[in-house]
Structure 1
Amino acid sequence: MNNMNQNNGMQKRMLIMTLVVFVFFIAYEFLVLKPQKEAKEAQAKQEQVTQAKSTPVEGMQETDVSGNPIDMSKSVESLSSKAIATQEIISVIKTAKNIIEIDNKGRIAQVTLLDTIYKDEEEHQIKLFESNQLRPLEVRFADTNINSKAFKVAAVASKSELDVKNQKQELIITQNLGETVLTKKFTFYPDGHYDLTTTSTNGKKFFITNGFRPNVLADMYADHGAMAKLNDGTLTIIEDGDLDKNENLTGAKFISNFDRYYATVIYNFEKSLAITLMPDNDGNPQGFIHGGNSITFSGYAGPKNFKDLAALNPELTDVIEYGWFTFIAKPMFILLQFIQSYVGNWGWTIVILTILVKLVLYPLSYKGMVSMNKLKELAPKMKEIQAKYKDDKQKQSMHMMELYKKHGANPMGGCLPLILQIPVFFAIYRVLLNAIELKGAEWIFWVQDLAEMDPYFVLPILMGASMYIQQRITPNTMQDEMQKKIFQFLPVIFTFFFLWFPAGLTLYWFVNNVFTIGQQYYINKLFEKKRAAKK
């Protein structure tokens, strides 16, 4: 820095930049993404089922998602009811976790979750798939004639019902297509996952799809689309609307099509998969696995619950995606889950996690608060130097540096700790946003679901009030009146946006503010004692 004005100016700019990042992040989601989503939904209600514009995998017959060999897929916005026609279902598998319905094309037509916490707005058990979407385990043949028959000839199930609540059971689906016989041999498990071997006779090559993602909760707050984990450990993630051409993946361990809380996953950790991701007419990714004439893998369709996925295979926890700050967010969720295993309440778990984070970051916070207090004390002397050397910026800068050095003050000390804490905030934001474990989790009597907004707006109001108090007791060295007014208005802006945020996230922010107030109050008292001692 060449002069004191540059020091102060940089400090102000960094503080404003930090707050603008927060405001922009929240405002963009609420004011831009949400209206875009609502506009798409309104337009979709007026449209009929649209045809795909994607290029098929080479050698694969184009077919619509209802089974007619014409189009590759339907637009997600054109999907409607989740009711599946009874005459289509040839086998119903009841596990301890879900009900899986297999239709007469050998596809997973529907998965109904049985846990009582998985209910929709009408208190019905959640069903993962729309009736007209591309269904999981649909097979497409390279041979056009056989492919056409595959959507006309009904498959036959070895059993119409399976009770898999207590032990694994096998099911065989057979489809006699003349030139080839397609056989799907399932093993279903009580936890809801399955193993599958699919074969075709006479060497007939086929492709098998993971289907379109579950369509339960695809909102503006979380990613939804498809992801694949490759043998080198990297993740390929393509969100809905972002795929404009076929993308081939080789050496894949799993493919997952997912919304905010739910996923359909096909995985094989012993023999890797070759996958082609194909866009529908809206650029939504749909994965087709190259099956050759025989392929074996395992599958799961259900909530992205960390423990359930880890029980299947630890690598499947990568299905839960936390965005840019996954490297912080994933360990933080593991800690959150560990605390909850002892506390038993997710709300108090969030409170404890917040306190732990504040303790870990306390050295940074302490330095920042001390620096702000020192700068406030030095404000009169800084003004004197400004006035005395107003025409000589070089001397002004030199005397400012001497003043800072003499009193151990750092003009950047107040904002750097805040900036360093931003990744932690966003990591916690993503954890609380994507953790289905919070769904249906109560905290106290008026907060019955930490994954939903506070119905009475108590937490957002408390958060805004605590932010205002924090602002009032924090030393402010800003000289510009416009900057002061912007900062004074921030508690109102944040309160407005947090009205619709999940209660769990608002709870974290409120508790964080309360402890920051306590820390700031403590630092202020120390400085008051020092000033009193000097007198």
Structure 2
Amino acid sequence: MNNMNQNNGMQKRMLIMTLVVFVFFIAYEFLVLKPQQEAKAALVKQEQVQKQNAAPDVNASTQMVSTDVNGNPIDMSKSLDALSAKAIASSQIVSVIKTAKNIIEIDTLGRIAQVTLLEEKYKDENASQIKLFEANQLRPLEVRFADINLNTEAFKVPAVASLSNVDATTSTQELVLTQTLSGTVLTKKFTIYPDGHYDLSVNATNDKQFFITNGFRPNVLADMYAVHGFISKLNDNTLKTIEDGDLDKNENITGVKFISNFDRYYATVIYNFEKSLSISLMPDSESNPQAFIHGGSNITFSGFVGPKNHRDLDALNPELIDVIDYGWFTFIAKPMFLLLQFIQGYVGNWGWTIVILTILIKLVLFPLSFKGMVSMQKLKDLAPKMKEIQAKYKDDKQKQSMHMMELYKKHGANPMGGCLPLILQIPVFFAIYRVLLNAIELKGAPWMLWIHDLAEMDPYFVLPILMGATMYIQQKITPNTMQDEMQKKIFQFLPVIFTFFFLWFPAGLTLYWFINNLFTIGQQYYINSVFERKRAEKN
């Protein structure tokens, strides 16, 4: 740098750029993307309702009376579920599988039409057990034949199930689906386990070639906080991720261990770690990735549809943990989650686990934070002398720069010292940000008296307000070397802006930021007191 103005200006620009990018990231999500997604979801549901009203199921009774999975009558004209975009007509279902963790409905074409999660914590905004799929989406285990004529026929001929109800809640069960076509007999043999996963063997006679899909992703929570789309793991252990909206042409992948289409918390997974898979990806009308496995005339694999719970995936196969995608900072986020899970194993409460993890992160990063805080204090103390040099040599930039550098050297100050530690901590922040956003383990996890779900927003806005208040206090006690009044005003409004956005953030993430602010205040207060003592000693 040539002079103090350049040094100071660069520091300010980097700091402002970092904060502005972060604010823009959050603002764009809440003010642009989220309303678009909500409008789109509302439109899809409206279209579904119109279709149901315009073309009622010809096999349904005139009074619209159906039964639930247990055979109990439901008045569909009064049921809110019947108006949902996730409602599946009972006439479409040939078999219902119940495991300890979910209910899997198989439709007339041998596909997974719906999966309902049974664990108590998996409930939607209507307090109903979460259903993973929309009624009109690409369904898991749909088969498409290479022969066009045969494929057309396959979408008209229903499959026959060996059992209409399968109880796999306590023991492994089998189910066979048979679809008899003019040129082949397609057979799907399921082995269903109590934990909700399955093994599947698919066979087509007469050597008819087919493809089979894991379907479009679950559509429960797909937002711009977390990655959602397609991920695959290859034989060389590399991961290939394609986010929704990013696939503009067909693509082939060979040597695949698993594929998954996923939203923030849930996924449809197909895997085979003994014999690799070959995949063709096709974009839908919105450039979302649709995966089709090359089945030949006979293929075997295993599958899972449900929450991306770390322990459940690890129990199926440790490599399936890679289904959980944390984005750019996965290499930091994965070990961070393992630490989070380790602490929770001893503490037993996810809220206090987040508190402890935050403290540990602050302790690890303390040397960086300390260095930055000390640099800011030194620059604050040198501000009067820097102004003198600027005024004295305002017409000679070369001398101004030389005297500034001498001043820095004499007092051990670094004009970039306050900014660089912040920049270096950004990857850690975004890693914990991704961990807390993607961790379905926080779903239904309580903390304190008023937080009943750390994966949801604070219902009384206590944590966001505390976060904003601590951010304001932190700002007040932190040395500010900015001379520009506009920059000062921007920073003064940041606590208000952040509080506003954090009102809707998951409570777990807001808790992290609040605790982080508390310890930053403590660190800053300590540094301030040290410098105050030094000033007092000099005087």
Q: What amino acid maps onto 1:382 in structure 2?
A: M
Matched, 1:341 2:357: no
Structure 2 SS opposite 1:118: coil
Query: C-alpha displacement at 1:31, in angstroms?
Result: 2.0
1:127–1:46 Cα change, 3 Å: closer
What letter matches 1:379 in structure 2? A
- Paired residue secondary structure (1:444): coil
Give yes or no for the alignment of 1:499 onto 2:503.
yes
Cα separation, 2, equivalents of 1:391 and 1:450: 59
Matching of residue 114 in structure 1 with residue 133 in structure 2: no
1:48–1:159 distance in 2 versus 1, CA, 3 Å: closer
Q: Is it true that 1:5 corresponds to 2:5 in the alignment?
A: yes
Matches within 5 A, 1:360-379: 360-379=364-383
Note the 1:226-265 alignment, pairs <5 A.
Answer: 226-265=230-269
- Separation (CA, whole Å) in 1 of partners of 2:472 and 2:520: 12
CA distance in 1, matches of 2:389, 2:520: 33
Residue identity opposite 2:163 in structure 1: K
Q: Indicate the residue corresponding to 2:396 in structure 1.
A: 392
Structure 2: unaligned runs, 5 residues or longer: 51-56, 58-82
User: What amino acid is aligned across from residue 89 of structure 2 in structure 1?
Assistant: A
User: 1:353: which partner in 2?
Assistant: 357
8 Å contact 1:84–1:110 — kept in the other structure? yes
CA contact (8 A) 1:212 1:286 kept: yes
Output one character per residue of 1:298-348: Cα deviation in whole Å (capped at 9) or x when no partner: 000000111101111111111111111111111111111111111111111
SS of the counterpart of 1:425? helix
After superposition, the Cα gap between the structure-2 partners of 1:43 and 1:85, relative to the gap in structure 1 and judged at 3 Å, is: closer
Shift of 1:148: 2.7
- CA shift for structure 1 position 45: 5.7
Closer/same/farther in 2, CA of residues 497 and 532 from structure 1, 3 Å limit:
same
Q: Which 4+ stretches in 1 moved above 4 angstroms?
A: 42-50
Which residue identity lines up with residue 2 of structure 1 in the other structure?
N
Q: How far, CA to CA, are the matches of 1:151 and 1:31 in structure 2?
A: 42
- The alpha carbon displacement at 1:43 in A equals 5.0
Which deviations, in whole Å up to 9, do the C-alpha atoms of 1:454-495 show, x marking residues without a partner? 111111111111001001000111111111111111111111
Contact 2:49 2:84 (C-alpha < 8 Å) held by counterparts: no
* Larger deviation, residues 519-528 vs 225-234: 225-234
1:532 to 520, 528, 536: 536
Q: 2:451 aligned with 1:465, yes or no?
A: no
Q: Which residue of 2 is the match for residue 61 of structure 1?
A: none
The within-5 A match list for 1:213-228 is 213-228=217-232
**Deviating more after overlay: 360-369 vs 123-132:** 123-132
Q: What letter is aligned with 1:18?
A: T
2:266 is matched by which residue type in structure 1?
Answer: Y
Indicate yes or no: 2:326 matched with 1:322. Answer: yes
Deviation, structure 1 residue 145? 3.1
Deviation of residue 528 (structure 1)? 0.9
Deviations 1:32-86 (A, max 9, x none): 2123323434554666899xxxxxxxxxxxxxxx9xxxxxxxxxxxx95322222
Pairing partner for 1:127 from 119, 126, 131: 131
Report the AA paired with residue 501 of structure 2.
Answer: F
State, as a whole percentage, how many aligned pairs show the same letter: 82
* Offset, 1:391: 1.6
How many residue pairs match? The answer is 508
2 CA distance for matches of 1:136 and 1:37? Answer: 23
AA at the equivalent of 1:5: N
Query: Closer, same or farther in 2 for the Cα pair 1:173/1:45, shift >3 Å?
Result: closer
Query: In the TM superposition, what whole-angstrom CA distance separates every residue of 1:474-518 from its partner, at most 9, and x where no partner exists?
Result: 011111111111111111111111111111111111110000000
Q: How far apart are the structure 2 equivalents of 1:489 and 1:178?
A: 71
Q: Which letter maps to 1:322?
A: Y
Matches within 5 A, 1:39-438: 39-41=39-41, 43-44=43-44, 81-438=85-442
Q: Distance in 1 between matches of 2:510 and 2:496?
A: 14
Which residue of structure 1 lines up, in the alignment, with residue 72 of structure 2?
none
**Residues 464 and 494, structure 1, Cα contact 8 Å, conserved in 2:** yes
SS at match of 1:421: helix
Name 2:37's counterpart in structure 1. Answer: 37
Tell me the secondary structure at the aligned position of residue 507 of structure 1: helix
Q: Distance in 2 between matches of 1:308 and 1:91?
A: 25
Displacement of 1:525: 0.5
The aligned counterpart of 1:74 is none
Hey, what does 1:19 align to over in structure 2?
19
SS at match of 1:301: strand
1:21 shift after superposition? 2.1
Return closer, same or farther for 1:23/1:245 CA change in 2, 3 Å cut-off.
Answer: same
Residue pair 1:80, 1:132 contacting (<8 A) in 2 also: no
Q: CA deviation at 1:246?
A: 1.4
Q: Contact (CA 8 Å) 2:45, 2:85: kept in 1 or not?
A: no
| Residues in 1 aligned to 2:351 and 2:231: alpha-carbon distance in whole angstroms | 30
Contact 1:37/1:220 (8 A) holds in 2? no
Please report how far the alpha carbon of residue 171 of structure 1 lies from its aligned counterpart in structure 2 after TM superposition: 1.6
User: In structure 1, what residue type is equivalent to 2:31?
Assistant: L
1:267·1:297 contact (CA, 8 Å) conserved in 2? yes
1:22 CA drift (Å)? 1.7
- d(CA) in 2 for partners of 1:183, 1:39: 41
Shift of 1:162: 2.1
Letter in 2 for 1:88: Q
Q: Secondary structure at the match of 1:366?
A: helix
Residues 364-422 of structure 1: CA deviation (Å, up to 9, x unaligned):
00011111111111111111211222221111111111111111111111111011111
Given that 1:172 and 1:185 are in contact with CA atoms closer than 8 Å, whether structure 2 keeps it comes out as yes
Decide whether aligned partners of structure 1 residues 309 and 16 sit closer, same or farther in structure 2, where only a CA change above 3 A counts: same
* Aligned-partner Cα distance in 2 for 1:447–1:27: 25
The 2-side partners of 1:431 and 1:376 are apart by 36
Partner Cα separation in structure 1 for residue 417 and residue 455 of structure 2? 36
Please tell me the residue identity of whatever aligns with 1:387. A
Of stretches 116-125 and 237-246 in structure 1, the one that deviates more from structure 2 is 237-246
Q: Aligned partners of 1:375, 1:409: CA distance in 2, in Å?
A: 7
Aligned residue for 2:294, secondary structure, equals: strand
Q: Which amino acid aligns with 2:201?
A: T
Cα distance in structure 2, aligned partners of 1:189 and 1:47 = 36
> Partners of 1:201 and 1:506 in 2: how far apart?
57
Give, in whole Å, the separation in 1 of the partners of 2:267 and 2:193: 18
Aligned CA-pair RMSD: 1.8
Using the size of structure 2 for normalisation, the TM-score is 0.91
